[in-house]
């Protein structure tokens, strides 16, 4: 088991919610530009899910995801995001070899 990776948004100081079902969730301030970028990414992922009728896929990591991962001390990783459908409305993002919640769950 690895260490729990907490972090603070470099733009608004919002904290990452640990052990959230969606995995990579932040408590951004409403004025935070990274919140808008994250919302746009989540909306695009939901649209991809519906269009592809798949429950898991990979895509390039966004600059915002990489910045927030860096805020958690995660750098130098494969910049590929794996998106997995957890429920009809919850998608979980993960990165190869990264255990954000310290529970041993990593994307292989």
Question: Can you tell me the mean pLDDT for 13-33?
Answer: 91
CA distances in angstroms from 7 to 17, 45, 74, 85, 107, listed in the order given: 9, 23, 10, 24, 20
26-71 tens-digit pLDDT: 999 999 999 999 999 999 999 988 887 788 999 999 999 999 999 9
pLDDT at 88 over 70: yes
- pTM of the prediction? 0.87
pLDDT of residue 104: 63
pLDDT of residue 2: 54
Tokens of 52: 């592809």
């Amino acid at each position: 088991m690895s260490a729990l990776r907490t972090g603070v948004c470099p733009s608004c100081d919002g904290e990452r919610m640990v052990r959230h079902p969606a995995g990579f969730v932040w408590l951004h301030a409403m004025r935070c530009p990274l919140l808008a970028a994250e919302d746009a990414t989540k909306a695009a992922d939901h649209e991809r899910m519906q269009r592809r009728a798949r429950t898991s896929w990979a895509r390039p990591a966004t600059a915002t995801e990489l910045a927030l991962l860096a805020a958690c001390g995660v750098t130098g990783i494969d910049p590929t995001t794996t998106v997995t459908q957890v429920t009809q409305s919850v998608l979980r993002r993960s990165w190869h070899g990264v255990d954000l919640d310290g529970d041993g769950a990593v994307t292989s």
